[in-house]
Structure 1
Amino acid sequence: MPDAENPRTDWSDDLALIRRAAREAGEVAFAFFGQSPEVWWKTEGGRSPVSAADFAANDRLQDILLKARPNYGWLSEETDDDEARLDAETLFVIDPIDGTRAFINGEKTWCVSVAVVHRGEPVAGVLFAPALGEELYAAIGLPAVKDGVSIEVSKPREGELRQIALPEDMLARFPDDVRSTLKRIRHVPSLAYRIAMIADGRIDGTVVKRNSHDWDLAAADIILHQAGGRLVDLAGNRLVYNRKRVTHEELCAGAEHVLESLVLGLRSC
């Protein structure tokens, strides 16, 4: 049995489980897509919407995952936080619809995000985007995969600008020598999907404003890591998940050839 000296290394069974759960939850959510589901605001006058689809997908995930792994902890955007999760060595970290605003507006760039986090580190993750017909997944010891094909981050391209997802006002504050090497792409509403775009080489990097949450990041983090990229804080450190505080400060994600420039640029903002 795994212990501190002989940690568990095979997460393939958990990966298979969360892939099945994400697909079923995605089918539940997709049934609401384009059907004007009921929407609420999480705080009075707030800017963070939640829909009936979010709750329905969350219920399906909780039913499948906790029945299969009753000893795992649980952290979801759409479930009241229970600090009992802090005592769990392994837990599920869930965003039933990452990109709810896009979902409500009929945009296709949203996904179900499911991760397994063990001792503070994501060890398996899946992003299922039913409106796009895409699935990305990875686990420790296994390659990152999109729609059955292994993926990896971009390589340096001599003479080409690096494709970056970040707010225009933030890019304007980057040092001139950094800004001149970057090309900003159109906004991608789902943070998890944006990081996945780095994993499959469509873009080179992104920055993440402060106050992102574990559930926005964990699944995309392991997919990016297994594809050869990194998600880091401004000290260059990987994130620790399942802390009492589940929000994060400013972050950078990218292939190695762009990450240092992004960290430098964000530090100067």
Structure 2
Amino acid sequence: MPVPETTPAEDLDLLIAAARTAGTIAQQHFRANPEIWQKGDESPVTEADIAIDRVLRTDLLAARPGYGWLSEETEDDAERLDDDRVFILDPIDGTRAFIDGQDSYAHALAVAEHGRVIAGVVYLPEKDKLYAAARDLGATLNGQPIRASAQRSEAGAQLLATKPTMKEAHWPGGIPPVKRVYRPSLAYRMALVAEGHFDGMATFRPTWEWDIAAGAILIEESGGIVTDGHGRDLRFNRRHPQADGVLTASPGLHAALLGRRRTA
């Protein structure tokens, strides 16, 4: 469908309100023994995930009836491929952390237009941290501007990554001499890179769009570089909504890390 006459800033305001609604619902279930099911891929889903997905789908599509919908907790519909703009969201990113009572779960919401994210929000209600960005308008944390790290050297850099990500097989040019750190939510990891709290983030597993769409625009608008695991541009609202990993860092550090990903 044709793109409605709304700006990225207007979409961002809508996403911020929706993220806060998601946070209110999540907190009603957090540390309250929510009902849990196992999905076909053996990943868990809770009644909070389902409730947030249902409410946000109703509210967001009512506000933007011409937009498509892609969510981790909604059965995919190929009709979204015909829409110029699409909501891409993970009702709760870090569901296992949510179940375990950890406060680092997040709500990740984005709008993509013709394959590029134009607005995105990552909200951590338990930490009262709301990251937001819109195309060409910069990125913020709780309303204050944020910038990605200016780190250029691998030495001394802090890279958010799982232990398997740092195996030799992923780095033909040698494992980079960085300090590995970890946080449960992928969206939160990307937000922390946008904030400049860490210098980069890497994952080389196939990565769902709903986990990375909001984080991608946060990083781009904060001055960082974000690509797939092989240095290619990320595109969204694809038929199979997965990226081939994610590599993000400050410009100089990203180039150095990418160089180690390639064979001579």
Aligned twin of 2:52? 57
Kindly provide the amino acid, as one letter, of the partner of residue 26 in structure 2: A
Shift of 1:248: 1.6
Kindly provide the amino acid, as one letter, of the partner of residue 184 in structure 2: P
Aligned twin of 1:112? 107
Kindly provide the amino acid, as one letter, of the partner of residue 228 in structure 1: G
Distance in 1 (CA, whole Å) between partners of 2:260 and 2:152 is 20
Are 1:41 and 2:38 an aligned pair?
Answer: yes
- Within a 5 Å distance, the mapping from 1:74-153 to structure 2 comes to 74-153=69-148
The structure-2 alpha-carbon separation of the partners of 1:13 and 1:176, relative to structure 1 and needing over 3 Å to count, comes to closer
Shift of 1:110: 1.0
> How many pairs align?
260
Shift of 1:175: 6.3
Distance in 2 (CA, whole Å) between partners of 1:254 and 1:9 is 31
The structure-2 alpha-carbon separation of the partners of 1:98 and 1:222, relative to structure 1 and needing over 3 Å to count, comes to same
Report the secondary structure of 1:250's partner residue. Answer: strand
Report the secondary structure of 1:31's partner residue. Answer: helix
Alpha carbon RMSD of aligned pairs, Å? 2.2
The structure-2 alpha-carbon separation of the partners of 1:9 and 1:267, relative to structure 1 and needing over 3 Å to count, comes to farther
Report the secondary structure of 2:133's partner residue. Answer: strand
The structure-2 alpha-carbon separation of the partners of 1:18 and 1:179, relative to structure 1 and needing over 3 Å to count, comes to same
**Among 211, 215, 221, which residue is 1:216 paired with?**
211
Aligned twin of 1:183? 179
Aligned twin of 1:246? 241
Shift of 1:261: 2.5
Shift of 1:166: 1.5
Kindly provide the amino acid, as one letter, of the partner of residue 183 in structure 1: K
The normalised TM-score by structure 1 is 0.90
**Among 152, 161, 168, which residue is 2:156 paired with?**
161
The normalised TM-score by structure 2 is 0.92
Shift of 1:134: 0.5
Report the secondary structure of 2:205's partner residue. Answer: coil
- Within a 5 Å distance, the mapping from 1:217-232 to structure 2 comes to 217-232=212-227
Q: Contact 1:230 / 1:238 at 8 angstroms: preserved in 2?
A: no
Report the secondary structure of 1:138's partner residue. Answer: strand
Kindly provide the amino acid, as one letter, of the partner of residue 17 in structure 2: R
Are 1:18 and 2:15 an aligned pair?
Answer: yes
Shift of 1:263: 2.0
Shift of 1:223: 0.8
Report the secondary structure of 2:80's partner residue. Answer: helix
Shift of 1:250: 2.5
**Among 179, 186, 202, which residue is 2:197 paired with?**
202
Distance in 2 (CA, whole Å) between partners of 1:136 and 1:55 is 23
**Which 5+ residue runs of structure 1 have no aligned equivalent?**
none
Q: Contact 1:10 / 1:141 at 8 angstroms: preserved in 2?
A: no
Aligned twin of 1:255? 250
Q: Contact 1:111 / 1:128 at 8 angstroms: preserved in 2?
A: yes
Which string of whole-angstrom CA distances, capped at 9 and with x for unpartnered residues, describes residues 61-83 of structure 1?
11210110011100000000000
Shift of 1:91: 0.9
Which string of whole-angstrom CA distances, capped at 9 and with x for unpartnered residues, describes residues 232-262 of structure 1?
0244222111110101212211111211222
Aligned twin of 1:170? 165
Shift of 1:47: 3.3
Q: Among the aligned pairs, what percent are the same residue?
A: 38
The structure-2 alpha-carbon separation of the partners of 1:168 and 1:64, relative to structure 1 and needing over 3 Å to count, comes to same
